[in-house]
């Protein structure tokens, strides 16, 4: 079972917040200009990190698309992720770039950006609205040259003035996570209708230019008549390959392909955006959603519930081949999923209490009895990536950590903590005894069968969620907490209340899943930085505010080689894991997908994205044979 409470990253436009149909806020990726900049600056058709761009200047299409893919048909799917204010269970607004409201999934396809990504590369952007960019020698000034053919859906030209308006309004009124990511933007100026000059602040992060290049572009004229910082169900004016079509707030939304989309023949877009309609159906209950898939309401489904995958795909459409099931590899780092403790609350401030809670989750029992053995234990914030720390610090890591030795616990210099391995009984007495010892050492006291916090208050924990999908997995965890005298409960609230409470950090423990990508950088500040610990709506769920982590993130944002970045991230991983801010959950290195056999797809997927919505297409011949229910 995998829960998507917080963003899972979009890859196609890695820096555009809420950019992908199946993705959300992207990993904010560092860059390096192709080649060495001349003293006066240099032009480039793309930006990359730690090396040259993989694609040549005259590339015709991306390697993982079918350039002759037909257009047409519809794909229907359930939202599976969120980002900024996006909620996968409901929506009441088309404005996904502010804190207010529950934004609709998929809105990123309505807006273009200056540059967009190649999903075969971990960290590269190529020109979209901008055909090229000039970069100053000090990499503080970027002059983007816009394609004059760029248009909004009403036919109005997309100009530098729209880009400047968009960057300024996002920095001033955008979602706090977006505004924070743009803090290194010093100014944006329209030098001409087709030239935008962006100046960055001295000391800016290495990623600042790419963050700018990946932002959505809005129509300044449209927002001259509409308030930007308000929720709305009026479809916005965009310039991307799709526009909002029919919808019923909280139930479904359909995106319609723009047949004369201005950028349809650009190399980045050839073979992509093939569906005439992309439909999201909203169901708060996953069991009901599965029945809807069986009935053909959805045509594609990624399965996140191991029990369903293992036992419930036995209905007629699967047996007769009308529904296909596949396991598709995931080459990205697996990311982090955990129960995160809110250390803003006094009950979790003592590290011994936090470590005690880690002893109470029996992964071995849960994986065998609830998840059919399909999962592996998560141990790292950089799971299954070179940035994952292991054992004792290497000499390279020690060289980095030694500068902060006086500010770090001794544990950071020993073997990195890993979650305990239980005896699989569900109630491992050895681990519970260790938990009890840690709690008492932290000053907790017993009052009969109940455990009291050091201040004498009963020790109570609420696991907050917006659906009950994880309740079976949390129940044995809660049972072990109860054995220790902790009163724990699983509470489900409606999505609107969940968003309000999490935006304002009103919770004990919540579940989240996120990934930091192949080139961790700016996103680490969003998740672990002191600047975001008390920023409403931020992704710093636990409230981590550690000056050493802050300093290491700053180093990570400025190093010039991937090797140095890797060692810094391993150090960050060590410090985070020694902080015991979480109870880590599980992961799997693949996507479990099922779909009605009405689609075809390219010969191969991109390395870092299965590309269902972007590169697959509707196959009319297959559809004629399948006779999809209700169609």
CATH code of the domain covering residue 245:
3.40.190.10
CB 230 within 8 A of CB 95: yes
Backbone region of residue 619 per phi and psi (left: phi > 0; alpha: psi in -120 to 50; beta: other values): beta
- 352 and 323 in one domain? no
**What are the residues whose beta carbons fall under 8 Å from the beta carbon of 151, sequence distance 6 or more?**
157, 158, 239, 262
Count of all residues that appear for the chain in the document: 631
- Tell me whether strands 46-48 and 141-146 are parallel, antiparallel or unpaired: unpaired
- 486 and 596 in one domain? no
CB 171 within 8 A of CB 201: no
CA distance 151 to 261: 8
Of 555, 571, 587, which residue constitutes the final position of a domain? 587
| Model pLDDT for residues 137-187, shown as the tens digit of each residue | 999 999 999 999 999 999 999 999 999 999 999 999 999 989 988 999 999
CA distance 187 to 182: 10
- The per-residue pLDDT for 82 is 58
- 563 and 537 in one domain? yes
- The per-residue pLDDT for 17 is 30
CA distance 124 to 27: 12
- The per-residue pLDDT for 12 is 32
CB 354 within 8 A of CB 348: yes
Residue 319 three-state SS: helix
- 319 and 184 in one domain? yes
- 210 and 346 in one domain? no
Residue 93 three-state SS: strand
Number of domains present in the structure of the chain? 2
- 399 and 349 in one domain? yes
Is 314 exposed, middle or buried (CB count within 10 Å of its CB: 0-12, 13-18, 19+)? exposed
CA distance 555 to 402: 14
- The per-residue pLDDT for 266 is 97
Full-prediction pTM beyond 0.85? no
- 462 and 608 in one domain? no
Q: What secondary structure does DSSP assign to 185-205, as a single string? A: EEEEEEEETTEEEEEE-TT--
- 508 and 441 in one domain? yes
Domain that holds residue 474: 336-587
Supply 283's token pair: 């169901």
Could you tell me the CATH number of the domain that includes residue 550?
3.10.105.10
- Give, in order, the Cα–Cα distances in Å from 120 to each of 62, 65, 272, 612: 8, 11, 14, 15
- Averages of pLDDT over runs of 10 residues in the chain (631 residues) are 34 31 31 44 88 90 97 93 79 94 94 95 92 94 97 98 98 92 95 97 87 96 96 97 97 97 97 97 88 95 87 94 91 85 98 98 96 92 93 97 97 97 96 98 96 97 93 97 98 92 96 88 91 92 97 91 94 98 92 95 91 96 88 69
- 351 and 213 in one domain? no
CA distance 431 to 575: 23
The total of other beta-carbon atoms located within 10 Å of residue 139's CB is: 17
Supply 438's token pair: 């840690």
- The per-residue pLDDT for 16 is 33
Helices (H) and strands (E) in the chain, counts: 18, 27
CB half-sphere exposure, 83, CA atoms < 13 A? 31
Q: What is the 3-state secondary structure (H, E, C) of 371-393?
A: CCCCCEECCCCCCCCCCCCCCCC
- 50 and 32 in one domain? yes
CB half-sphere exposure, 547, CA atoms < 13 A? 6
- 61 and 170 in one domain? yes
Residues pairing with 143 in the sheet: 134, 197
Residue 67's closest CA among 336, 274, 313? Answer: 274
- The per-residue pLDDT for 6 is 33
- 419 and 283 in one domain? no
Torsion sign, CA atoms 360, 364, 365, 371: positive
CB 586 within 8 A of CB 363: yes
- Give, in order, the Cα–Cα distances in Å from 412 to each of 291, 352, 544: 49, 15, 16
């Amino acid at each position: 079972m995998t829960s998507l409470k917080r963003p899972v990253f979009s890859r196609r436009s890695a820096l555009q917040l809420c950019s992908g149909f199946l993705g959300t806020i992207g990993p904010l990726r560092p860059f390096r200009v192709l080649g060495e900049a001349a003293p006066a600056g240099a032009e480039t058709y793309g930006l990359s990190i730690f090396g040259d761009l993989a694609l040549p200047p005259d590339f015709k299409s991306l390697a993982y698309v079918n350039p002759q893919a037909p257009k047409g048909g519809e794909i229907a799917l359930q939202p599976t992720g969120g980002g900024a204010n996006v909620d996968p269970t409901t929506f009441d607004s088309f404005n996904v770039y502010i804190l207010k409201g529950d934004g609709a999934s998929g809105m990123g396809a309505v807006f273009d950006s200056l540059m967009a990504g190649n999903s075969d590369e971990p960290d590269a952007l190529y020109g979209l609205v901008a055909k090229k960019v000039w970069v100053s020698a000090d990499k503080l000034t970027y002059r983007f040259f816009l394609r004059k053919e760029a248009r909004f859906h009403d036919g109005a030209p997309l100009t530098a003035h729209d880009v400047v308006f968009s960057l300024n309004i996002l920095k001033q009124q955008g979602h706090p996570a977006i505004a924070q990511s743009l803090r290194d933007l010093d100014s944006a100026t329209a030098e001409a209708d087709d030239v935008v000059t962006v100046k960055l602040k001295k000391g800016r992060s290495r990623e600042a230019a790419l963050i700018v290049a990946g932002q959505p572009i809005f129509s300044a004229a449209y927002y001259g008549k509409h308030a930007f910082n308000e929720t709305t169900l009026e479809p916005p004016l965009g310039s991307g390959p799709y526009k909002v079509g029919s919808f019923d707030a909280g139930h479904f939304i359909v995106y319609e392909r723009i047949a004369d989309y201005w950028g349809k023949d650009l190399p980045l877009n050839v073979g992509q955006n093939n569906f005439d309609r992309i439909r999201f159906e909203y169901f708060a209950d996953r069991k009901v959603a599965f029945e809807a898939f069986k009935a053909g309401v959805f045509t594609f489904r990624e399965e996140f519930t191991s029990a369903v995958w293992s036992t419930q795909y036995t209905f007629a459409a699967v047996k007769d081949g009308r529904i296909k099931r596949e396991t598709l590899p995931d080459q990205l780092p697996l990311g982090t999923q955990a129960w995160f403790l809110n250390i803003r609350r006094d009950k979790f401030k003592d590290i011994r209490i936090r470590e005690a809670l880690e002893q109470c989750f029996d992964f071995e029992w849960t994986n065998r009895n609830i998840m059919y053995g399909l999962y592996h234990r998560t141990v790292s914030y950089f799971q299954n990536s070179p940035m994952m720390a292991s054992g004792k610090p290497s000499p390279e890591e020690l060289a980095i950590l030694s500068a902060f030795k006086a500010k770090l616990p001794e544990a950071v210099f020993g073997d990195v903590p890993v979650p305990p391995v239980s005896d699989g009984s569900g109630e491992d007495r050895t681990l519970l005894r260790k938990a009890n010892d840690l709690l008492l050492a932290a000053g907790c006291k017993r009052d009969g069968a109940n455990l009291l916090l050091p201040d004498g208050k009963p020790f109570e924990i609420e696991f907050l969620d917006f659906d009950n999908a994880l309740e079976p997995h949390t129940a044995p965890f809660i049972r072990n907490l109860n054995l220790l005298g902790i009163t724990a409960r699983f509470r489900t609230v409606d999505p609107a209340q969940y968003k309000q409470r999490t935006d304002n950090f009103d919770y004990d423990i919540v579940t989240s899943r996120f990934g930091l990508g192949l080139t961790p950088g700016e996103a680490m500040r969003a998740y672990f930085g002191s600047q975001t610990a008390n920023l409403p709506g931020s992704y710093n769920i636990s409230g981590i505010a550690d000056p050493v982590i802050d300093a290491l993130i700053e180093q990570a944002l400025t190093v010039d080689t991937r090797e140095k970045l890797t060692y810094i991230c391993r150090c960050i991983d060590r410090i985070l894991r020694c902080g015991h801010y979480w109870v880590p959950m599980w992961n799997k290195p693949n996507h479990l997908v099922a779909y009605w056999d009405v689609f075809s797809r390219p010969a191969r997927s991109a390395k870092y994205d299965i590309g269902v919505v972007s590169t697959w297409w509707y196959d009319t011949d297959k559809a004629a044979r399948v006779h999809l229910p209700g169609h």
